[in-house]
Structures are given as structure tokens and as C-alpha cells.
Amino acid sequence: MINEKLATVKKNIPSNVTLVAVSKTKPNELIEEAYKAGQRIFGENKAQELKNKAEVLPKDIQWHFIGHLQRNKVKYIAPHTSLIHSIDSIQLLTEVNKQGLKNNRIIDCLLQFHIATEESKFGLSLEEATELLNSNDFLNLKNIKIVGVMGMASFINNEEQVRNEFIRLKDIFTQLNNNFFNQTGTFQTISMGMSGDYRIAIEEGSTMIRVGSAIFGNRN
Ligand SMILES: *Cc1c(COP(=O)(O)O)cnc(C)c1O
């Protein structure tokens, strides 16, 4: 039962850690079950799927976009999303800003970092993020707000390596907070940890975990 699995995950996390229930590929009925159990934040990784779900499910759901985002898909999620976890270029951020302006809103975003050893994972390096945040293009974006960082650890059975990757993301967060955000207090989210590694992520400073299969069961 989804409410039981949700309760189990919640029991394992401190109150300062936000739980994003990753509902990608799952039907609306299962999301409604989690909603009835009190869950209000859901994560999706396909733009069109997020839009379709947001249009029919309760309006007080907060929809997080957690997947790789193509620029031509931003328009689908811009009216609906409360947080985009996967900003990995100034070009993407510029498009999010444009769609934020069109929808008359400011869209909260996380910078995604490449912390895993796997080539396939997306994300910035600290150097690239520093360049982005220093750029004139960035300073002109008024309809986005960078509120933290996101990363995915390697998908491996090596706790020490996973832990070190989370430590690295926390360190990146601290450096960016010191160098770019200290006056504002708006930079506060560290999105790290999934079904298999969220306990380690929390021990290393995660403030937001993205948990799918531990709540909704395996995906095909
Ligand atoms: C699918 C996904 C998750 C959730 O993964 P589980 O292992 O099912 O908890 C978390 N983050 C991202 C970016 C994802 O794509």
C-alpha cells in the first residue's frame, strides 16, 4: 500500500528534509493515493507528462521537474512547476526565464551538478556553475531564482563512494552559497538522495530527497 510505504519513508527522514515523491511513469490513481495520505510534492521527469498530470490533479500539488530538460519543452512545465531541479546551462536557464516572464511568475530552480563517475549523468562542474553565475546573461534574468543545488550519486553498491559524492555536492553548495548568495538567504536547498541512497544523503546534509520506487514500487 502506498500510504504505508510513504509512512515508512517519512519515519526515516528528519522534519527539515523535504520529500519529493517521484511519480514519473505512474498513473494518476497512484498519485491520488499518495495525495490522500498527505503527500503534496511530486516529481516528474517528462515535460508533457508533468503538464498532463498537473492539469487534472489537485491544484495544491507542487510539481517538481527532476529530469533532463530540453529547451523546447520548458513551455509545457512553466505554468505548473514549483521547482526545476535540472538546470545545467545558461541557455536552458534563459529559456526558463523567458517562459517565466510569459507566465508572469518567477520560477525557482536548482543547478544540477555532475557528481557521479558515470558519463551518462548530466550536470555542471563547479567551474561551469561559477562561470554561469558570474555571467552578464545571468544577471539579466529576473523571472528565475536559483535556490540551491541537485545531484545524483553513482548507481553502485559502494557506500563510501556514494557518500563521497554527496559530500562533494554539499561542498559545492557551501562554496556557491559563500561566493554568490550569502546576502540573500534564498540559496538553501540541497537536493540529493533517492530510494537506494537517501539515508546516506541525509547524513551528508541533504535537505530534499527524491524518492520514487520506495513509495510507488518499481518502474518498468
Ligand atoms: C527517477 C528519479 C529519482 C527516483 O529514483 P528512485 O530510485 O525510484 O527513488 C530521483 N531523481 C531523479 C533525477 C530521477 O530521475
Tell me how far the alpha carbon of residue 124 lies from the centroid of ligand 1, in angstroms.
18
| pLDDT value of residue 154 | 94
Taking the CA of residue 196 as reference, the ligand 1 atom at the shortest distance is 7
Three-state SS sequence of the chain: CHHHHHHHHHHCCCCCCEEEEECCCCCHHHHHHHHHCCCCEEEECCHHHHHHHHHHCCCCCEEEECCCCCHHHHHHHCCCEEEEEEECCHHHHHHHHHHHHHCCCCEEEEEEECCCCCCCCCCECHHHHHHHHHCHHHHCCCCEEEEEEEECCCCCCCHHHHHHHHHHHHHHHHHHHHHHHCCCCCCCEEECCCCCCHHHHHHCCCCEEEECHHHHCCCC
Domain count, the chain: 1
Q: Residue 109: give the domain boundaries.
A: 2-216
CATH code (residue 70):
3.20.20.10
What atom in ligand 1 is closest to the CA of residue 218? 8
Q: Say how many Å lie between the CA of residue 67 and the centre of ligand 1.
A: 9
Q: What is the mean pLDDT of residues 59-69?
A: 98
pLDDT value of residue 118? 78
Mutate to test the pocket of ligand 1, among 210, 211, 213 (most ligand atoms within 8 A of CB): 210
* Residue of 13, 22, 42 best suited for mutating to test ligand 1, as the one with most atoms within 8 Å of CB: 22
**pTM exceeds 0.95:** yes
> Is 150 near ligand 1, meaning CB less than 6 Å away?
no
Q: Indicate if ligand 1 lies below 6 Å from the C-beta of 67.
A: yes
Q: What is the pLDDT of residue 117?
A: 84
Nearest CA to ligand 1 atom 7: 195
pLDDT of 158 above 90: yes
- Res 120 pLDDT > 80: no
What percent of the chain has a predicted confidence (pLDDT) above 90? 94
Q: Is the model's pLDDT at 59 over the cut of 80?
A: yes
Q: Compute the distance from residue 112 Cα to the ligand 1 centre, in Å.
A: 14
Q: How far is the CA of 211 from the centre of ligand 1 (A)?
A: 6
Condensed to tens digits (0 to 9), the pLDDT of residues 1-29 reads 999 999 999 999 999 999 999 999 999 99
Summarised one tens digit per residue, pLDDT across range 164-211 is 999 999 999 999 999 999 867 899 999 999 999 999 999 999 999 999
